[in-house]
Amino acid sequence: MDNICIDSLILKLHDVGAVKFGEYKLKSGMVTPIYIDLRVLVSYPALMNQVSSLIYQRVQDEGLQFDSVCGVPYTALPLATIICSRHELPMLIRRKEAKDYGTKRLVEGSCREGDTCLIIEDTVTSGSSILETAEVLYKEGLKVTDAIVLMDREQGGVEMLASQGIRLHPIISMFKLLNVLLAAERIDAQTTQSVRKFILDNNTFSPKEENGDGVPATKKACVEQNLSYADRAKLPNVHPLVSKLLKIMGEKQSNLCVSADVTSTEELLQLADSLGPKMCMLKTHVDILKDYTVAFSQKLQALAENHNFLIFEDRKFADIGNTVKHQYEGGLYQISSWSHIVNAHAVPGPGVVKGLSSVGKPLGRGCLLIAQMSSQGSLATGEYTKAVVKMAEEQPDFVIGFICGSKITKRPEFIHMTPGVQMQPGGDVLGQQYTTPEEVICNKGSDVIIVGRGILEAPDRLKAAEAYRKSGWEAYMKRLGQSGQ
């Protein structure tokens, strides 16, 4: 999503009074120094169209699958209406109260039992309004797996909804809004600090532990979603390589994978040695090295052992089984002899995994399937992503997870790794899209951040790696509902 477009929208929302500073009482009862009043959008059709377009763009970016759309009454109703009318999507309307005449229904529109409904909301604090709407839809036999919100106040709504099996996809976060308004000199540093402190001090969600008296199946699944890395490493069905990675992550307090896109073996080894203590994994592109030798691969393995990280060769295998088998075990690079993990496209079908597995499985190696990509216009979305998950679930003895933009399966034995991570969201001229560590780990539910240029182009690579390690780990602790130290 275009970061410039988001910044412009934030300033326009402030212009029309949709963002107010002062003392305001929220639905939850708390008094807040900032109030988001998006009801004013109905008086600004151009702005409402812009918001609707961004919401639909986020739906497309996430590859969400659904049968109908429901806007939380009342502010999100016109947004849902514009989206559904423009893109010819079936829409449902949830009433806040049933009429005592006519059909007396709480949900208006045509729906079938078992259909999936996407919820759209304007602002989220605790997530209660989305959950209330979901519960009404559940009574109609509908499923709710995802919700899109324009503004996330970052006060526990994402976590609360995740605990109920609903993934929340925000367009704008509160801290992003504050940063933009501060940079544009719309607010001063004191106001910014005051609001930040309020947000951090007033999280509305506290994870509840199972009481042993019988928890509904849906809630058990959600508890599994929030397992720590250490707990997931102990699961009975987890792949040994995943278990090893999760233990490394816990021991080093790092979910950072450094993407070493350099062309010299000397520079790559230097990176591995200096940044080794900060990362859980090193990603290589061996075919861009100008001076590869077997001795290099041996030195790299020694550094991985010494600094306790895994090696991931980003080979992106994408051929028939017999061909990838030879590419993996032979040729100039003999990748299977030194790389713990490789990845593959699912386009060729399950044969690509079977070919790689015939070489890697006896060696204790693992494979990541590419389910989504961070490049603009990627075709790896929707049904393709679902097919990738199914392929992984059918071959869990070798497939250990996914390259993806967000969490795509609730099964905790799979690792989710996300590329295109930088401290500031945005993109480059070649279509690469960047997302922040907090967005990737905390909001999108991924496990590992893959960082390349954010570290390689920094004046001090070691300092940058530490900053990403710390940011990624704090986002993980926030996801668990703990206070990361």
Look at residue 220 and tell me whether its pLDDT is greater than 50: no
* Other CB atoms within 10 Å distance of the CB of residue 304: 19
What integer pLDDT is reported at residue 96 of this predicted model?
78
Percent of the chain with pLDDT over 70: 88
What mean pLDDT value characterizes the chain?
88
| pLDDT level of residue 1 (50, 70, 90 thresholds) | low
What integer pLDDT is reported at residue 159 of this predicted model?
84
Of the two residues 459 and 173, the one the predictor is more confident about is: 459
What integer pLDDT is reported at residue 379 of this predicted model?
62
| Dist. CA 392–CA 3, nearest whole Å | 33
The answer to whether 481 touches 159, Cβ cutoff 8 Å, is yes
What integer pLDDT is reported at residue 247 of this predicted model?
94
Look at residue 483 and tell me whether its pLDDT is greater than 50: no
Longest dimension (CA), the chain: 81
For 215-332, strand residue ranges (E) read: 256-260, 281-284, 310-317
Of the two residues 182 and 28, the one the predictor is more confident about is: 182
pLDDT (tens digit per residue) in 93-103: 998 776 666 56
Tally of CA atoms within 13 A in the half-sphere of 87 that contains its CB? 20
List the beta bridge partners of residue 366: 341
Mean pLDDT of 317-339: 95
* Nearest alpha-carbon partner for 245 in 232, 261, 236: 232
pLDDT (tens digit per residue) in 147-165: 999 999 988 888 889 888 8
What integer pLDDT is reported at residue 103 of this predicted model?
60
| Dist. CA 34–CA 276, nearest whole Å | 42
Mean pLDDT of 39-64: 94
Look at residue 30 and tell me whether its pLDDT is greater than 90: no
What does each C-alpha distance from 84 to 42, 133, 146 come to in angstroms?
17, 18, 16
Which residue is associated with the tokens 């509160």? 174
What integer pLDDT is reported at residue 210 of this predicted model?
40
* Nearest alpha-carbon partner for 177 in 41, 16, 19, 58: 19
Of the two residues 231 and 17, the one the predictor is more confident about is: 17
Look at residue 352 and tell me whether its pLDDT is greater than 50: yes
* Nearest alpha-carbon partner for 37 in 20, 15, 54: 20
Look at residue 218 and tell me whether its pLDDT is greater than 90: no
What integer pLDDT is reported at residue 372 of this predicted model?
82
What is the DSSP track for 358-424? HHHGGGT-EEEEE---SBTT-S--HHHHHHHHHHHHH-TTTEEEEE-SS-----TTSEEEE--B-SS
pLDDT (tens digit per residue) in 246-298: 999 999 999 999 999 999 999 999 999 999 999 999 999 999 999 999 999 99
Which residue is associated with the tokens 């061909």? 323
Mean pLDDT of 80-91: 97
Q: Which helix (H) or strand (E) holds 22?
A: strand 19-25
Q: Which of 220-229, 319-328, 351-360 has the lowest mean pLDDT?
A: 220-229
What integer pLDDT is reported at residue 28 of this predicted model?
65
Look at residue 383 and tell me whether its pLDDT is greater than 90: no
Q: Where are the alpha helices (DSSP H) in 204-264?
A: 217-225, 229-233, 240-252
Look at residue 406 and tell me whether its pLDDT is greater than 60: yes
What does each C-alpha distance from 33 to 19, 172, 176 come to in angstroms?
11, 18, 16
What integer pLDDT is reported at residue 429 of this predicted model?
42
What integer pLDDT is reported at residue 130 of this predicted model?
96
| pLDDT level of residue 183 (50, 70, 90 thresholds) | confident
What integer pLDDT is reported at residue 224 of this predicted model?
37
Look at residue 371 and tell me whether its pLDDT is greater than 60: yes
Q: What are the residue numbers of the active site? A: 314, 316, 319
| Dist. CA 158–CA 171, nearest whole Å | 12
Beta 91-94 vs 107-108: how paired, if at all?
Answer: antiparallel
First to last CA, the chain: 32
Kindly report the pTM of this predicted structure: 0.55
| Dist. CA 368–CA 419, nearest whole Å | 13
What integer pLDDT is reported at residue 217 of this predicted model?
33
pLDDT (tens digit per residue) in 106-147: 999 999 999 999 999 999 998 999 999 999 999 999 999 999
pLDDT (tens digit per residue) in 131-140: 999 999 999 9
Q: Edge to edge, what strands does the sheet with 68-71 contain?
A: 107-108, 91-94, 68-71, 117-124, 146-152, 167-173
Per this entry, what is the length of the chain? 485
* Other CB atoms within 10 Å distance of the CB of residue 167: 22
| Dist. CA 436–CA 483, nearest whole Å | 19
Mean pLDDT of 420-430: 66
| Dist. CA 150–CA 124, nearest whole Å | 8
The answer to whether 322 touches 292, Cβ cutoff 8 Å, is no
Beta 68-71 vs 91-94: how paired, if at all?
Answer: parallel
| Dist. CA 85–CA 88, nearest whole Å | 5
* Nearest alpha-carbon partner for 347 in 368, 373, 322, 319: 319
| Dist. CA 93–CA 102, nearest whole Å | 16
Q: For residue 311, give both structure tokens.
A: 């090696």
